[in-house]
Structure 1
């Protein structure tokens, strides 16, 4: 891991920095309603500000973090079972929208939810743009 990558990952574990990036994704990427960063073991790191600060939203962020860790673990096992390489993400489609879980690094996961009635195709593009924003942005800005 290069020094730049190591620095970027350390900044992505800073809840304040991550919260700003997650809010930026929700503000700028069409179709993204909520974004949550969690550790691979299910500990909440940050959520976009509209997801945090409200009791039920805080509960959702904490519970989603635990479920994302479990889902990513299961996804890892599935992809290894069929020899398809490392897990790139899991998307769950529901009646009114989608939820996705994506590895950001070896220690971090991203949870993204769609706005109401966003199709799975549109959501997949929006979620990958969110992931790209986290992986390529200068976390200081």
Structure 2
């Protein structure tokens, strides 16, 4: 018997399926510049076309995946330390936009980078739309 969400996680582990969904998210959702799916230990599963490059190159996806794994680990420890429960997101606001790391499952992370000058509120709304697309691609 499968658990709720298990079918989605299996589909997302297919790099072709995940890559298509991430590219769709970047094209359809305002305020999203890049989307990367990674394992919790920093291995790229898939990325939108502009973030991914030839295998073995130092791409945004490769570097972002490693940093996402670190950010997620620190976020998990920090929220546990201050008794705030499990980590739902690590979001960073820069002078030209935002980037966030979102746990999708026990083994997968989503990295979303906002477009230029996106505000924190608009970024959060856009990132939630990316998560919803990944969790229910046919909806």
- TM-score when scaled to structure 1? 0.90
**CA–CA distance in 1 between the matches of 2:8 and 2:28?**
21
Query: What's 2:132 paired with?
Result: 132
**CA–CA distance in 2 between the matches of 1:125 and 1:112?**
12
* Cα 1:117–1:63 shift into 2, 3 Å: same
Report the 3-state secondary structure (helix = DSSP H, G, I; strand = E; otherwise coil) of the residue aligned with 1:70: helix
Residue 83 of structure 1 deviates from its aligned partner by 1.1
Kindly report which structure 2 residues correspond to 1:3-18, keeping only aligned pairs within 5 A, or say none. 3=3, 5-18=5-18
**CA–CA distance in 2 between the matches of 1:17 and 1:58?**
23
Residue 136 of structure 1 deviates from its aligned partner by 1.9
How big is the alpha-carbon RMSD for the aligned residues of Structure 1 and Structure 2? 2.0
Residue 3 of structure 1 deviates from its aligned partner by 4.9
**CA–CA distance in 2 between the matches of 1:115 and 1:94?**
11
Q: Is the 8 A contact 2:51 2:59 kept in 1?
A: no
Any unmatched runs of 5+ in structure 1?
A: none
- Does the alignment pair 1:99 with 2:95? no
- TM-score when scaled to structure 2? 0.91
**CA–CA distance in 2 between the matches of 1:75 and 1:118?**
23
Query: What's 2:32 paired with?
Result: 32
Query: What's 2:51 paired with?
Result: 51
**CA–CA distance in 2 between the matches of 1:65 and 1:122?**
23
Report the 3-state secondary structure (helix = DSSP H, G, I; strand = E; otherwise coil) of the residue aligned with 1:106: coil
Residue 7 of structure 1 deviates from its aligned partner by 2.2
* Cα 1:69–1:15 shift into 2, 3 Å: same
Aligned length: 138
Residue 28 of structure 1 deviates from its aligned partner by 1.0
Q: Structure 1 or 2: larger helix share? A: 1
